[in-house]
Amino acid sequence: MISTRLVVDNDFVISELDRRVFGTFVEHMGRCVYTGIYEPGHPSADARGFRQDVMALTRELGTTIVRYPGGNFLSGYNWEDGVGPKDQRPTRLDLAWLSTETNQFGTNEFMDWCRDAGVEPMFAVNLGTRGPDEARHFLEYCNHPGGTTLSELRKEHGHEKPHDIKFWCLGNEMDGPWQICAKTADEYGRLAHETAKVMRWVDPSVVLAACGSSKHDMATFGQWEDTVLDHCFDDVDFISLHAYFENPHASTAEFLGNIDQMDLFIKEIAAVADSVAARKHSHKRIMLSFDEWNVWYKARTLDDRRKPGWPQAPRLIEEVYNHEDALAVGGALIVMMNNADRVKTACMAQLVNVIGPIMTEPGGPAWRQTIFHPFAQAARYARGRVLRPVIHSPTYQAKTFPEVPYLCASVVHDDSTGQTAIFALNRHLSDEQEISIELRGLGDRQRLVEALQLHHADMKATNTQEAPDNVSPGRLEAVEIDGHRITARLKPGSWNLIVTSNAKPS
Ligand code: AHR
């Protein structure tokens, strides 16, 4: 048994949590769209082909914003191909994933799906094969009220009212040699600047994100952000970050050290953005959009990423998640919350089948992967102000990060309900953790609202079509509350949620 302490104070606030950190991602890749969210003829599909089993799980997941349409797919995409009568839409080769794209699902279908799911859309413009001209036309089609050829075309396509899409990504991973028409930092920075300029002239209310490095270990990491922001600092609101956790040492302890590495990544990018601000004598702060993150290493071979013969909706990167992956995802969510002052949007990549929290079979069922659970709990209970956690915990040494505390935790307090949500990961893999939590300034008559735990004796345990609830949350027992002090016992290798309230029960 190890002992840890977690202290928060109502006066020590990181930031109000932007609920857009509970975003996900739908790319035209593999089976995310086709046989994922969209499958005409499926027993649960509605008249538009939207799978209602997936819709119900999406709502339960609680995702708040969904990025679309890519990803690498974006850099060869013509938005015009995906609008208008379906029988007139072209079928194209998708060079990103060597697949055949039928365009039976496009912008208007995605907007209808978002409305049904109760999520905000996060769109992206193609800055690979295309540029500012298409970006301004696409925005005009989506957001202009009427009276122009493109806005009237949207109406003809059945959408009288503008879509009013606020959040736009300027391209995707433009530094990556794998990207269709990758750019140097100077080329992309100039392009982002000019694209942002014309997009704001079409609709001044848009929020714009420039591409940061594709991953932390890119050779140009840091320098890329510095150069790009030098060009477009005044034009954009966000810079993006992408990270996929891997387990190269086949060690759970090493794997969970990625969580602290992610925290460092965020702080490094904020520092680079602020150094550009300093150089420009600006008080503006560029916010961070962590618009692709997840665990992804088991289904990462070339064969996982590409199938021969230009197939439609092939099974690509259908990573099956295990218990330790759910712990890593829980830890990533804690990091995101604890950086709430800079990370204002984040998208777990992706939503369905393609490295997704939801899995489906064509014509068959849909189920929750292990990583679904920490995400759904955080999206449900993390509301309000994130309090600065003071953590006293023994640590371990890892190659992924030099000093890793066994306790990883975040505390979010909602003034409107009086509820405090505590998210705690026990990274000790053999010992229980006795945690003592002190909630200062949040009321002295705390009572328990919820206590859940995600634990499995086997770190490699998965959820499958046959056993969809093998890894699923249970009650966290033995939580004791004395005034504003809480104690609990966290199982080895577990993700835990404790919710208290100081309000009288109604
Ligand atoms: O999410 C899968 C792929 O990973 C995305 O298309 C790309 O942006 C990233 O490299």
Both tokens assigned to 427: 């990274």
Beta carbon of 172 within 6 Å of any ligand 1 atom:
yes
pLDDT tens track for 27-43: 999 999 999 999 999 99
Strands 2-9 and 390-392: antiparallel
pLDDT tier for residue 12 given thresholds of 50, 70 and 90: very high
The lowest-confidence range among 44-48, 261-265, 289-293, 301-305 is 301-305
- Residue 506 pLDDT > 60: no
- pLDDT above 70 covers a percentage of the chain that reads 99
Ligand 1 contact, 292 CB (< 6 A) = yes
Number of the ligand 1 atom closest to the C-alpha atom of 355:
1
The yes-or-no verdict on residue 505 having pLDDT over 70 is no
Q: Choose, from 173, 225, 318, 319, the residue flagged as catalytic.
A: 173
**Is residue 428 within 8 Å of 492, Cβ to Cβ?**
yes
DSSP string, 234-259: TT-SEEEEEEEE--TT--HHHHHHHH
Of the residues 25, 27, 218, which should be mutated to test ligand 1's pocket, given the most ligand atoms within 8 Å of the CB?
Answer: 27
Q: What is the pLDDT of residues 94-150, one digit of tens each?
A: 999 999 999 999 999 999 999 999 999 999 999 999 999 999 999 999 999 999 999
Residue recorded with tokens 């995702």? 63
Ligand 1 centre and the CA of 497: distance in Å? 30
Fold adopted by 2-10+386-501: Immunoglobulin-like (2.60.40)
Q: Taking 60 as the threshold, does the pLDDT of residue 195 lie above it?
A: yes
Residue 251's identity, in one-letter code, is: S
What is the assigned CATH class of domain 18-265+288-328+343-376? alpha beta
Mean pLDDT of 386-405: 96
Please state the domain extents for the chain: 2-10+386-501, 18-265+288-328+343-376
pLDDT confidence band for 249 (50 / 70 / 90): confident
Question: First-to-last CA distance in the chain?
Answer: 38
- pLDDT at residue number 504: 64
292 belongs to the catalytic site? yes
Other residues' Cβ atoms within 10 Å of the Cβ of residue 505: 6
Question: Tokens for 198?
Answer: 């014309």
CA distance 290 to 38: 26
Is there a contact between 182 and 222 (Cβ–Cβ < 8 Å)? no
Q: Is the CB of 349 under 6 A from ligand 1?
A: yes
Mean of pLDDT over the chain: 97
CA distance 496 to 373: 11
Separation between Cα atoms, residue 63 and residue 485, nearest integer Å: 32
462, 319 Cβ separation under 8 angstroms = no
CA–CA separation, 155 vs 146, rounded Å?
A: 8
Whole-number Å distance between alpha carbons of 387 and 389: 6
